Amino acid sequence: MFAVVGLSLLMFAMDQTAVATALTALGRDLGTDLAWTGWTITIYSVGQILALPLGGRLSDQFGGRRVFLVAVAVFALTSLACGLAANLGQLVGCRFLQGLACGVLLPAGSGIVAHAFGRDRDRALALFTSVFPFGAIAGPLLGGLILTVADWRGIFLISLPIGLVLLVAGYLVVRDPPRKRPERVDLAGIVLITVMLLAAMTAVARLGSLGSGPAGPLTVAGTALVAVLAGWAFVRHARRHPDPVVPLRLLHGGGLGSMNAANVVIGAAALGFSALVPLYAQTRYAMLPLAAGALLTARAVGMVLASSTAVALLRRTGHKPLLMTGMAAVVTGLALTAVPPAGGLDPALWLAIASAVMGIGMGFAAPASNNAGMHLVPDAVSAMSGLRILFRQLGAIAAVSVTTAVTASSSDPGVATGWAFGVLAVLMTGATALAARVPNQRGRW
């Protein structure tokens, strides 16, 4: 049972990172620029953000097993649709559905694993979530290999047979956890967040059209205004709703504001980095897709090794020293990525070193920031975990959207992306200063 649920999560994680190696090929084949091909990554994150609050509630109402099987089936079918997409609009729509399926599966799969392992559920859930780094290792390599021997469509089509096998295996071995009374779903809040994110992404993607006549600036201004109004409407709605999708009491006060802001930048650096490094390696250093994807393997290996060390040290040192060390390493990794290779080193080796340093930093920072947030509100651990994912995905969306828009309008895309990594390093330095204000916690809770 665990193998089936874990492999489904691995399939999702591999798909998300494999696509990052194909942005250049996508733009060339579909006749569009990076400002729009970047949507294949950001819209996936939007789908996850919107579906995460629904996954647990749908599992309570219809059963975790049924929700799990539907999510796997939707992902497999939309993978086929992605591989057959005739234009970017169709591909982006299918990627959105894939993100929804992933967002629904995460809480459903966690519920299935927790029920199956009973008293050992803490270890089982830790193992379940550790699948993501392995997907980060395998995904870029798989994407680079497919692009070497075929084209970008193969990255999506390979998920179809895997999904069908998981669907049959899940039907046979996954057992339904007990249902609870479903909570009320804040559909209005989810709609407002959707409008805000899509309008903001459109405004950023259209930045390159500012010089194309009056229509360009009007489109940017109009979509930006829609995003601001939707954000204002959501805050107003959340103040009145008894159970909003984003509880306002968890946004600020007592160190929460600092931790949430830090999570946005961590998401921009960590998730945005994984999405942009293959593109950067191909545009600035003309590296082949397989070699560019392998850079993320160095990051993932560093992250796996450091995270296991951080988990062992958390109770002894507390989360704050590990968080500061990890974020400082992330700044270093971003800065190394932004500058040309030193001492005549090969660009592939230089970027691999930078990626490994970045991974080590994230390996220390991720478990420490998770514990820091939950310690601030021990009575709302689940809600804080959801917010952590939300803010990190928002940071990733902002990083990828802005960077691809700037890169698409630049005369030297590789150098422009390098500047983006430099800006991320500066922002991460500021986030480190914010995180330093969060109180430390040692020992058992």
Residue type (1 letter), 20: A
**Residue range 108-136, pLDDT digits in tens:** 777 777 677 666 655 565 565 667 667 76
Distance CA 445, CA 434 (A): 23
Range of the domain at 200: 187-244
State residue 445's pLDDT score: 44
**Residue found by looking up tokens 């390493």 in the block:** 329
Runs of H (alpha helix) within 241-318: 256-285, 289-317
| Residue 124: per-residue pLDDT | 60
Element (H, E) at 222: helix 215-240
| CA–CA gap between residue 441 and residue 445 (Å, rounded) | 8
> Total structural domains in the chain?
3
Distance in angstroms (rounded) separating the CA atoms of residues 153 and 8: 20
Token pair listed for 72: 């796997």
> What pLDDT shows up at residue 307?
78
Q: Are 5 and 113 in contact (CB under 8 A)?
A: yes
Q: Point out the residues of the chain with pLDDT beneath 70.
A: 53, 56-57, 114, 117-130, 132-133, 136, 178-185, 207-216, 253-254, 373-375, 377-386, 441-445
Same domain, 140 and 13: yes
| Residues ≥6 apart with Cβ < 8 Å to 165 | none
Residue 84 has a pLDDT of: 92
pTM: 0.77
Residue 209 lies in a domain: yes
Q: pLDDT tens digits, residue range 193-216?
A: 888 888 887 887 776 555 555 666
pLDDT of residue 119: 64
Determine, yes or no, domain membership for 182.
Answer: no
181: in domain: no
Q: What pLDDT score does 372 carry?
A: 73
Do 157 and 14 fall into the same domain? Answer: yes
- What is residue 386's predicted lDDT score, i.e. its pLDDT? 65
User: Same structural domain for residues 195 and 272?
Assistant: no
* Domain match, 273 and 328 both: yes
Choose the final residue of a domain: 199, 218, 244.
244
Q: Which two tokens stand for residue 203?
A: 């405004």
